Structure 1
Amino acid sequence: MGQVIVSTAVSVDGYAEGSGGDISVMPLDESFNEHNSEQISRAARVLYGATTYRQMVGYWPQVPDNPDASPAEQRIAARMREGLPVIVVSDSLTAADAGPWREQTTIVARDQAHRVVAQLRAGDGDTVIFGSRTMWSDLLAHGLVDELHLMIGPKLIAGDTPVFDGVPTTDLQLAGVRRYDDSEAVVLSYRVTHG
């Protein structure tokens, strides 16, 4: 059985982005890249919503040519360059939007997302979701998320929408707490209790 794992940055006051959707205010440091590098190294595939996908396909293919990219960023970029399968839930995205990830990207219509994610969970290998709060909130509300990895950064950002906005009461079991050297961030990992 595969698992669906959400990995997301959260401010201390519970937001994944600042006012107006500004992600530049998020308290992200290299520990965020380290954690995500570890997650993607074990993943069988990644799953995104359309907005996050556009950000990712616009960023990661350029990283190998960036002399300022960190080792963790280079590892993530290499994993994507290897052809890691990408699934995108979108009614608006087209193959032309996939650019350099065209061969490894599968676009799933929104009304098919629950069925497709249920099939992934029934199969082999884990599916990791980065960003894509609207999508993973819906999947969580429908019992299709198995783990939450919350990287909590040391900042209050007073955003517009709380990270768990619209999610029903959900029982969680603490699976781990991690700190990184030279970072004020902490990763809290939870298993979602289904049943």
Structure 2
Amino acid sequence: MRKLLVSTIMSLDGYVEGPGRDVMALPMDGFFDEHNLERQRAAGTLLLGATTYMGLKGYWPAVAENPAVSPAVAANPDMADLHRETGKRNNEMRKFVVSDSLTEDDTAPWTDSTTIVRRADAHKVVAELKEQPGKDILMFGSRTLWNDLLVAGLVDELHVMVGAAVLGGGTPAFGSGPVPSLRLVNTRRRDGSYNVLLRYQVVDRDDA
């Protein structure tokens, strides 16, 4: 059985987006990029909401071809290989996007690697994906979707990078649904970064 992992970043005061849905208000530094690539290497499938899917699709194919177009690489050329590999993995990995509005016409250049799942079918499809053999299922962004799956008991781990920023408003990381019990597995820091990575395991209700 495969694990479903969520990798996200939030501010010190608990927001995954700043006011006006400004995700760039979060300190997504090299540590964040390195962790996400690490998780991609251990995963075989990406599971995404429509907004995150369209954002990744509009960004990473160009970076895979030429990492210099990434602002992070422009600021630090040493990040080029990391961003090139991230872009290539995003291009190649199997992707499931949960949306009632997207069509196949919206998926280029990822059409061959993308399956669109309607919202009413999401829990069933995710449960079936988890039952299949293979590597992890990984979620980036997609706050509405992962909160829904978390409440439904389908998420196995939360990897939350807490950024050294206080936004004062925006989109809170967690919704209003009852969040299952979480067990802190480990914490990580990296020299040169003010962010802290918290890895939580979702506790089975029978074991809570």
How much is the aligned-residue C-alpha RMSD, in angstroms? 1.1
Unaligned runs of 5+ in 1: none
**2:159 counterpart of 1:158:** no
CA contact (8 A) 1:140 1:167 kept: no
What does 1:92-131 align with in structure 2 at a 5 Å threshold? Answer: 92-124=101-133, 125-131=135-141
Match of 1:141 in 2: 151
Residue 49 (str. 1) matches residue 58 (str. 2): no
Q: Is the 8 A contact 2:185 2:199 kept in 1?
A: yes
Distance 1:62 1:162 in 2: 30
Aligned-partner Cα distance in 1 for 2:201–2:103: 34
SS at match of 1:188: strand
Corresponding letter in the other structure for 1:75: E
What's the CA shift string for 1:176-195, capped at 9, x where partnerless? 11111210011000000022
Contact 2:6 2:139 in 1 (8 A): yes
Query: What SS class does the counterpart of residue 166 from structure 2 fall into?
Result: coil
Partner of 1:34, secondary structure, is helix
Q: Which amino acid aligns with 1:48?
A: L
Deviation at 1:96, TM superposition (A): 1.2
Amino acid of the residue matched to residue 107 of structure 2? A
Per-residue CA deviations over 1:55-83 (Å, capped at 9, x if unaligned) read 000000010313253232212112123x2
What is the distance in 2 between the residues matched to 1:165 and 1:15?
11
Q: TM-score, normalised by structure 2?
A: 0.90
User: In the alignment, which residue of structure 2 is the partner of 1:2?
Assistant: 2
| Greater Cα shift, 61-70 or 111-120 | 61-70
Q: Tell me the equivalent position of 1:189.
A: 199
Q: Which runs of 5+ in 2 are unaligned?
A: 74-78
How many angstroms does 1:169 deviate by? 3.7
Specify the code of the residue in structure 2 equivalent to 1:21.
R
Question: What is the total number of aligned residue pairs between the two structures?
Answer: 194
Work out the percentage of aligned pairs sharing the same amino acid: 45
Q: What does the per-residue CA deviation read over 1:66-103, in whole Å, with 9 as the maximum and x for residues that have no partner?
A: 3253232212112123x210000001011111111110
Answer yes or no: is the 8 Å Cα contact 2:63–2:83 preserved in 1: yes
Q: What letter is aligned with 2:156?
A: D
For residue 182 of structure 2, what is the aligned residue in structure 1? 172
Q: Matched residue of 2:58: which SS?
A: helix
**Matches of 1:169 and 1:119 in 2, distance apart?**
22
Name 2:76's counterpart in structure 1. Answer: none
Residues in 1 aligned to 2:62 and 2:27: alpha-carbon distance in whole angstroms: 23
Aligned partner of 1:87 in structure 2 is 96
Query: What SS class does the counterpart of residue 99 from structure 1 fall into?
Result: coil
Structure 2 counterpart of 1:186, which letter?
V
